């Protein structure tokens, strides 16, 4: 089972590229961020034609998330307010950044974390509030007991290996202590960045700025992540960034990230014998 995440920077602008990639790669699940479209205008039909069901939560011009799946989507939850009824969760619900569904018994949570703009900005305070709310949301969600695959555009480089020029950029937006701590607090030992289970080295990016020739200079950041709970970490065999997609004509500034899972777990011989007893 393959689960992918991709900030497409407008699903309508990127439609032909997303469809071509889906036809080629055929992941069971693709989570989209920055769809930038209200639900009534989301292009559902091209995806259903390829065999993908969809659950969506969008708004005009900004943000927007969706989960596309060739397997049944169950128990869909939209916004932090699906699990939290307090003031902060309700206030954060205005921006469409959170959607989840259960797929083959796995809770797939798709997030578009606020960027924060700059450390002095009100948007940075919003980002920290949002991450604090994420932590509380995950605490409530834990009661489900389902294995968790949390994906998305986190707009945070977890450590300096994830930045092309840490000397210049570390400590700034997307690489500051407060936001890194807030994300690590939300992860709280229960979730692992699956890319790092396979690749310890720097030099692997998922986002390249449209400006300043960042792509040509390979000056990127790794800010698109897939986090797995313990049960799924043991089932992961691969996590790849589809870098070539960033070289397309009219690309998104993000590349897709894909995890390969042995899921549902194969029943091995020992277990079969136990079941027969």
Partner DNA sequence: ATGGCGGGTCTAACCCGA
Tell me if residue 153 is catalytic. yes
Residue 269 burial (CB count, 10 A): 7
* Selected catalytic residue, list 52, 81, 153, 227: 153
Checking DSSP bridges between strand 106-112 and strand 148-153, what pairing results, if any?
A: parallel
Nearer to DNA, 95 or 260 (CB): 95
Contact range with DNA by CB under 7 A, out of 44-52, 73-81, 132-140, 203-211: 203-211
Residue 41 burial (CB count, 10 A): 13
Tell me if residue 160 is catalytic. no
Among 16, 48, 62, 171, binds DNA (CB under 7 A): 62
**CA–CA dist 124, 73 (Å, integer):** 33
**Cβ–Cβ under 8 Å, residues 146 and 103:** no
The reply on whether position 67 binds DNA by CB under 7 A is no
Among 16, 60, 181, 234, binds DNA (CB under 7 A): 60
Buried b / exposed e over 221-233, threshold 16 CB at 10 Å, is bbbbbbbbbeebe
Among 21, 221, 227, 263, binds DNA (CB under 7 A): 221
DSSP string for 240-258: EE-GGGGGSSS--SB--EE
Among 10, 202, 219, 233, binds DNA (CB under 7 A): 10
Residues that bind DNA (CB under 7 A): 7, 9-10, 12-13, 34, 36-37, 60-62, 114-115, 117-118, 123, 153, 155, 173-174, 207, 209-212, 221, 223, 250, 253
């Amino acid at each position: 089972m393959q689960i992918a995440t991709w900030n497409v920077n407008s699903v309508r602008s990127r439609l032909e590229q997303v469809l071509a990639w889906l036809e080629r790669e055929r992941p069971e699940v693709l989570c989209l961020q920055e769809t930038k479209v209200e639900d009534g205008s989301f292009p559902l039909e091209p995806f259903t034609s390829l065999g993908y069901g969809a659950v969506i939560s969008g708004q005009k011009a900004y943000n927007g998330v969706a989960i596309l799946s060739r397997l049944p989507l169950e128990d869909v939850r939209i916004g932090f307010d699906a699990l939290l009824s307090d003031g902060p969760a309700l206030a954060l619900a205005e921006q469409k950044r959170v959607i989840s569904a259960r797929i083959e018994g796995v809770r797939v949570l798709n997030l578009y974390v606020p960027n924060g703009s700059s450390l002095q900005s009100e948007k940075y305070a919003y980002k920290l509030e949002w991450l604090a709310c994420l932590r509380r949301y995950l605490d409530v969600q834990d009661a489900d007991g389902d294995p968790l695959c949390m994906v998305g555009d986190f707009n945070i480089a977890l450590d300096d290996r994830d930045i092309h020029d840490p000397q210049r950029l570390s400590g700034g937006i997307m690489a500051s202590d407060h936001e890194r701590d807030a994300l690590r607090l939300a992860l709280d030992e229960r979730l692992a960045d699956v890319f790092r289970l396979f690749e310890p080295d720097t030099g692997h990016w998922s986002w390249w700025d449209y400006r300043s020739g960042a792509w040509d200079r390979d000056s990127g950041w790794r800010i698109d992540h897939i986090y797995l709970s313990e049960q799924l970490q043991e089932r992961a065999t691969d996590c790849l960034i589809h870098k070539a997609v960033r070289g397309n004509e009219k690309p998104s500034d993000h590349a897709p990230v894909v995890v390969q899972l042995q899921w549902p777990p194969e029943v091995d011989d020992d277990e079969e014998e136990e079941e027969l007893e």
